[in-house]
Amino acid sequence: MLYASLWSFKASRLRSVLGQNEPTKDKMNSQDWLNKQPDWSRALLSDLFLGRRWLMQMGEAAEKFGISIQYSTSYSRHILQSVVIPSVTQARVSSDYRPGNDQSKSGITAMFVDALNLVPSKDTFWSTGNQPGNPYHQDSWNDASP
């Protein structure tokens, strides 16, 4: 029950920040770093069903407050679990965008996600070659940008 309370609190806070009276279809929570959760929580490695309960409770809270969920950096098991979680509507199929990352390798993952009725999404891209102050501390030109 601890996780159910946590997700309800998070969803209610997100809903209040996004606006109570606004249409809910545009409200989305991007649940990032799903691939790192087992590394950060020993409980997920020791309880066979905790991961499922955690995702289900997150989905139930999101549905209760009219928020959709995007899974990011997820494993196949997360995507497959989303089949029974209606509030999960999309999954990011690319890695973080930065110079040197090959963003074109998302096709197979996108087909997998689409086959399960989720919308595949890609990380944003840099629209200019020079991105001063970027989080990767690379103030040089990105020759791969359009």
Beta bridge partners of 91: 71, 120
The answer to whether residue 16 is domain-embedded is: no
pLDDT at residue 88, rounded to an integer: 95
Domain that holds residue 70: 27-96+105-121
Q: Is 87 exposed, middle or buried (0-12, 13-18, 19+ CB in 10 A)?
A: buried
The answer to whether residue 143 is domain-embedded is: no
**Torsion angle of C-alpha atoms 57, 25, 19, 34, degrees rounded to 10:** 40
pLDDT at residue 128, rounded to an integer: 67
Mean pLDDT of 64-74: 88
pLDDT at residue 3, rounded to an integer: 64
- The answer on pLDDT for 119 being more than 70 is yes
The answer to whether residue 11 is domain-embedded is: no
Angle at 121 between CA 115 and CA 127, to 5 degrees: 150
The answer to whether residue 115 is domain-embedded is: yes
Q: Report pLDDT digits (tens) over 85-104.
A: 999 999 998 877 766 667 67
The answer to whether residue 19 is domain-embedded is: no
**Residue of higher predicted confidence among 48 and 97:** 48
Total domains in the fold of the chain = 1
pLDDT at residue 138, rounded to an integer: 57
The answer to whether residue 126 is domain-embedded is: no
Model confidence, pTM: 0.73
The answer to whether residue 86 is domain-embedded is: yes
The answer to whether residue 73 is domain-embedded is: yes
